[in-house]
Amino acid sequence: MRHREWRKLFKKRRRKAIRQKAAQAQSRLEAEENERKLACPEYQLHLVEQERQEQIAANRETLERALQNAIWLEEEHKAQQKFETLRRKEEAKEQEEKEKRERILKEFEERESELKQAKAERLKQQELVRRMLYERHVKLQEFAVTGVDEYLNELQTIHNTRIDADDCKFFLKTGACRHGYRCIGNHPTPGVSKVILVPNFFSHPALEQKVHAEYGQDARLEFDEEELQNCFNDFFRDIIVEFEAFGKIQHILACRNSGTHLRGSVYIEYELLRNAAAAYLRMNGRFYAKKQLHVEFRSPIVWPAAVCGFVASCNVKHCRIEITGLFELKRCQKGAGCNFLHILKNPDHRYVYNHFQESRSLRKEDVVHLATPLVEKYCSLVVH
């Protein structure tokens, strides 16, 4: 070993020995000091007091730890109760929702079942009605074409829309109702009759109630009375050829009302049931002016009661009654929307309803019933 290395190691060992000696001296001094303190009574009391304080602190810490533990247990118990309450609420809510879903599903299934049953019943009824209509068509064709009267009583059976309801007064008077099938009254319709009705047969812009973008409701003023009458004359001469081919016609009345249930409707009354049945079979479903015709039978109509009001004029000498509609005298207060018939004038006075001829056969009581109070006064003069 070199001298420098040996010297370095020697110094290191010497410093270590010095430190050890100082540490031993310090330990000896501390031991002497402890012995001196332990020999002192005051220090002994101090140690006892310090031990007592440490014990008190340890007990306090134990109590605090126990209190905190108790508080934590109480809070945990409350949390458990709250969680249990929430869990029960959630379970009850889920159970309620489940029951609600099951109830809705059950109601849906019941409704679907009812709808299926209703659909099946409706299809059954439609098939039954289709079969009945086909049988009625066959019987009507045999009655009209071959002249077989075997099914006449069956064909004349009245069909009711609402059996338990009272008859609709407007339908009884005019054969049409503005409520249609939604009417709360009963609409009795015969299976076959001398009177046929073709709804909305005649069409003209003057009869429509459409609101024009520029002229509003005054668009009908663009068409005068003469133009309307000329169009109706052409229409009348066009259709009369078809309807005269089925038999002798008594009356033809065409409505000029603006209501959808009467606008352009044409009433045709034949002398024989067979002729009306033939016209129904031939014209029902045909197309005219890009419209498919829907022909219906109507019970015999008392035309003075169907026309919009009436004014009766009486000749005292001959006791003749002539009835004229209020619309013809321009005295209808409801205008074109009236629910009674506003009649277009037939060209050449063909097939018009002759009020005088029809009223000649009426008894005196019927004349008084149909006439106005002024006519009643004249009739009373005739009686006296």
According to the model, what pLDDT value does residue 198 have? 94
The one-letter code for the residue type at 68 is Q
Alpha-carbon span 177 to 198, nearest angstrom: 14
Tell me phi and psi for residue 333, to 5 degrees: -80, -20
According to the model, what pLDDT value does residue 40 have? 83
Q: Which two tokens stand for residue 307?
A: 């026309």
Q: For residue range 269-295, what is the model confidence (pLDDT) as tens digits? A: 999 998 999 999 999 989 998 889 999
Q: Which two tokens stand for residue 247?
A: 């038999």
According to the model, what pLDDT value does residue 44 have? 83
The one-letter code for the residue type at 279 is A
According to the model, what pLDDT value does residue 328 have? 67
With 0-12 / 13-18 / 19 or more C-beta atoms within 10 angstroms meaning exposed / middle / buried, residue 144 is: buried
According to the model, what pLDDT value does residue 98 have? 93
Give the predicted TM-score (pTM) of the model. 0.62
According to the model, what pLDDT value does residue 145 have? 77
CB 162 within 8 A of CB 184: yes
According to the model, what pLDDT value does residue 157 have? 84
CB 310 within 8 A of CB 329: no
**Residue-range domains of the chain with CATH:** 157-366 (3.30.70.330)
| Helices within 142-194 (DSSP H only) | 152-155, 169-174
Residues linked to residue 249 through DSSP beta bridges, in sequence order: 270
- Chunked mean pLDDT (size 10), the chain, 384 residues: 87 92 91 83 85 93 94 94 93 93 93 91 86 84 77 82 88 89 89 91 81 56 80 92 92 89 92 91 90 91 79 43 57 78 88 61 43 40 32
Alpha-carbon span 53 to 317, nearest angstrom: 146
According to the model, what pLDDT value does residue 374 have? 36
